[in-house]
A and B are shown apart, each in its own frame.
Chain A
Amino acid sequence: MSITERRAHPLAVAALILYAAVMLAPVAWMILTSFKQPADTTAAVPSFIPAPGTQPAGSVFFQPSFENYTRQIASPTFGRALLNSTLVAVISTLASVGLGAFAAYGFSRFRFAGSNDWQFFILSTRMLPAMAVSVPIAWMYQQLGLRDTHLGLIILYTCFNLSFSTWMMKAFIDEIPTAYEEAALLDGYSRLQVLFKIILPQASTGIMATAVFCLIAAWNEYAFALTLTTMRANTVPVEIAGVAQDANVVYGRLAAAALLFMLPIVVFTLLMRKHLLRGITFGAVKG
């Protein structure tokens, strides 16, 4: 009997449920906070239970309100940051998946001198600590006029994700038998036709999974956005982290903003759960 086919002991299940409750408590607290009015978020006694009507100070009840959400959505700075995040994440994802698909096909199907070395170089670019390269990149962007622009962040995130997308898609393309291509080439298809009509459609799930990973990385990125943007192109992580440093921060709105920002990516990731492992191991292991 496989270890996976054994039934769990009830105590083990209880322990897991307790663990899950602890792990999800911060998210639950964030959701509760997002419905609180300012006085309830800064009260000496925390309130846990939403209840209609005005609640006395110091009780465990609080009166829920949607005000944090309506105000946050209406906020021009948050709206702009959300638009920036969306633009930068979506365009850089498309670019890194597009360029990466070509490169992955090239590395997968053609052997050439130094192919392995190039692949290692590509992957090692992802290992660079952002803060170790932020000064020269900031300087370079200053010269090129790319500081605090969407284009600047898009190029950087594309580079950042390209190494990853190439590796992951190569793992998917490696699995497509070359017999299809050879048959198509004999039938008079050109290499480009083979790529577009045979390889890319066959690798479509892999491409989708790669896209989700690139999107998550670009969506959540903070260090580069912090050092390279100020007013025009700042993304939501920079905006929210900045608000948290403010002495007059409205915690309910902070929580609402964080949840509005996190929701799409959580839903996305849970949908792509099956591919999660493969993305993490850069396609090395079957997920």
Chain B
Amino acid sequence: MITHGADRWTLSDRAVRYWCILPMLLLLIAFNIFPLLTSLYISAHDYRRGIHRGLGDAKFVGMDNYRANLNSPPNQEPWKSFQRTAAMVVVTVSLQTAIGFSVALLLVRKFRGREVITALLLIPMTLSPAVVAAFWKYMFNADIGIINELTGITGAWSGYSPRAFWSVVIVEVWLWTPFMMLLSLAGLNAIPPSLYEAAEVDRASAWFRFRHITLPLAMPMVLLGVVFRVMDTFRLFDTPNVLNGDAMGQDTTLVSVLLYNRAKNDSANMGIGTALAYLLLIVAVALGNIAVHYLAKMREREKTRGAA
């Protein structure tokens, strides 16, 4: 489809269209579809890395691995890990949203040094969760950690301690509250000033303005942030694994941590872990689709608002 012109080579529109998109699609397909097919294959087999020489040696078991996961008692893995993950999502995302939105409400007002404070407050979300968690582990140390020293708490934050779950919550809230703050700020800044002027004329109370103007108009951006945070927390791995990855079956063994530990074990049937991964994938893709459609809707709304 390449035609040689007088002094330059040109491509037809059709060729450009394919050459633009094709390389990227092929790469994504190769590194997404292929692993997913392999995953599907493994999940239908009893495959033990320590025993079988290759995937070909593994015994076909059909849907048994899925059944093993789905039929396990609710107070055991993997259901326990799903429950912990759900609890982690609810607790961290609520805290991130409540704190982030409140701080944003303070930050939209004018004051000296606002730019600097906003910039400083964004720092945690740019850091590598695994790296900062490694340092938080030191701060949570039962004997020499600064946190126990300052709060007067005695005892561990790791292992099977009931505080282990909260150590992950604290680090996650610290890391991602800035994210919710940033989105809340964007939502608040986009509210048309004319609405407040009208409310002023009507002598509406501060609470009325907040309840009927600020909250509903900032909400789409806040919800967008919530959707992203829910998705990310759902697959949370870095912080619980670094803070408390040594033992299994504790409050910080979230779904991703469980998957990682099952995959590490050479003598375990990888099929069961992979089947669980597939179940997780289905939930994650469903969540992802909600997010994507929400984004598309927001984009449409922005367009119509821009056109009006």
Please list the residues of chain A having a beta carbon within 8 angstroms of any beta carbon in chain B. Answer: 1-9, 12-13, 15-17, 19-20, 23-24, 26-27, 29-30, 33, 41-46, 99-100, 102-103, 105-107, 110, 112, 118, 120-140, 155-156, 158-159, 162-163, 166, 190-193, 195, 216, 219-223, 226-227, 236-238, 240-241, 243-245, 249, 251, 254-255, 258, 261-262, 265-266, 269-270, 273, 276-277, 280-282, 284-287
Contact = CB atoms under 8 A, between A and B. Distances in A.
B128 A287 contact: no
Contacts of A6: 109-110
Given A7-B111, A128-B281, A133-B35, A120 B289 contact: yes
Contact of B16 (A26, A162, A191): A191
A129 B284 contact: yes
Contacts of A124: 285, 288-289, 292
A285 B224 CA distance: 11
Contact of A130 (B174, B235, B292): B235
Give the top 9 A-B pairs by smallest Cβ distance, nearest first. A127-B288, A106-B20, A129-B235, A2-B193, A8-B109, A244-B134, A220-B128, A222-B130, A136-B38
Nearest to B26: A99
Interface stretch (B60-68, B71-79, B161-169, B179-187): B179-187
A121 B10 CA distance: 30
A139 B38 contact: yes
Nearest to B144: A42
A115 to B, nearest CB: 9
Given A127-B284, A133-B277, A284-B299, A216 B126 contact: yes
Q: Is the interface of B mostly helix, strand, loop or mixed?
A: helix
Contact of A222 (B34, B122, B129): B129
Given A124-B288, A276-B182, A280-B179, A269 B122 contact: yes
Contacts of B123: 24, 27, 266, 270
Contact of A136 (B42, B183, B224, B242): B42
A139 B287 CA distance: 27
Contacts of B124: 23, 27
A158 B27 contact: yes
B134 A254 contact: yes
A41 B144 contact: yes
A284 B298 contact: yes
B251 to A, nearest CB: 18
Given A127-B231, A135-B274, A241-B134, A15 B106 contact: yes
Nearest to B273: A135
